[in-house]
Structure 1
Amino acid sequence: MTMSEGQLSTLQEEALKRKERLKALKRKRESENNNDKQSEGQFLNLPKPKFRSYKPQDEELQKNALPLIVPDSVEDEIKEQLQSSNAKVVIDELDITSLAPRKPDWDLKRDVAKKLEKLERRTQKAIAELIRERLKKRQADLATIATSEPAQPE
C-alpha cells in the first residue's frame, strides 16, 4: 500500500497540530503548578477551625477547641411549669358567647342566598298579578253595580 503525497501532507499537518496541542497542555500544567504554589501561601491566611463538640487529638488543634458548655438543668424549668399549672384558672371570666359563632347558620344562609333572591322575585311578581286580578274584578264588579242598580234618591 502506497500513500499518495496528498495523504502524507494531511497526516503531517495533523501531527503538527497534535504537537501544538501537547505544548499548550504542558504550558497550562506549568502555570497551574505555579498557581498552586501561590495558593499554598493563601492557605496560611484561612480562619482557624472552632471545635464545639469534637475534641481534637492534635495539640495545635486543641488550642482551637471551645470549652464544654454545661446545659441548664431541665428540672428547674419543669418545676416552674408545674407551679404555674397548679394556679387556678378562673373560668367565670371566660365568656362562652365570644367562643361560639354569633350566627351558627351563616354558612347555610350564604349557600341559599342566590336561590332566595330568585324566589323573592317570583313571589313579588305573583303578588303583583294577584293584586291586578283583584283590581280588575273590582272594576268589573263596580261597573256591573253601576249599570245594574239604579241610583236611589234618599
Structure 2
Amino acid sequence: MCSTDDFFVIQDREWIAERIERRVEVNMEKSVGSLQEQALKRKERLKALRDKQLHGRDQEDGEPENKKATLEEPTEEKHRELKLRNYTPEDEELKGRQVPKAKPASVEDKVKDQLEAANPEPIIEEVDLANLAPRKPDWDLKRDVAKKLEKLERRTQRAIAELIRLEWKSYLHHHDRFAAFAEGVLQ
C-alpha cells in the first residue's frame, strides 16, 4: 500500500517529466523553425543568383554607370600587332615585323645571388649545452643553495689544508725524533 507521501512524490515526478517533455518539444520547434527560416533565405539567394545569370546583367549588379555605358556601346575591333618570333617571313612587309633573336640573360649574376643566399650567416659557435638540454626538476633548489655551498667549499678547503699542515708537522717532529734516536744509537 502506498502512503499519501508516496502518492505525492509519484505525482510530482510525473508532473516534472511532463514539464521536461514540453520544454524539449518547444525547443525542438524553435530550432526546426530557425532551420526552416535559414533554408528559405538560402533558397531566395539561390533564386536571385539564377535570375541574375539567366537575364544577364541587371541594374542591380553594382557596376558604376560609366562602365555600363561603355559596355553597351559598340566597340571597334582592335587587332593585335603581329609579332613573328619563330617564323622567318618571305614577304618584305612581314620581315619588318620579325622580332630579333633574344639573347639569353646572364645566368652568372643569378647564380651568384643564389650562392650568396645559400651561404647562411655564421651561427654562434659557443652553444651552452646546459641551455639546450632539459633541466632536472630540482635545478632551482640547486641554484638557491649554490652560494651556501661555495662558502662550505672554501671552509672545507681550509680545513683540509690545516689537516695537511698538522700531519706534515707531526711527520717532521717524529722524523726529527727518529733521526736523533738513530744518531744516539749509532754513536
Per the TM superposition, whether the score is higher than 0.5 is no
TM-score (norm 1): 0.31
Higher RCO structure (Cα 8 Å, ≥6 apart): 1
TM-score (norm 2): 0.27
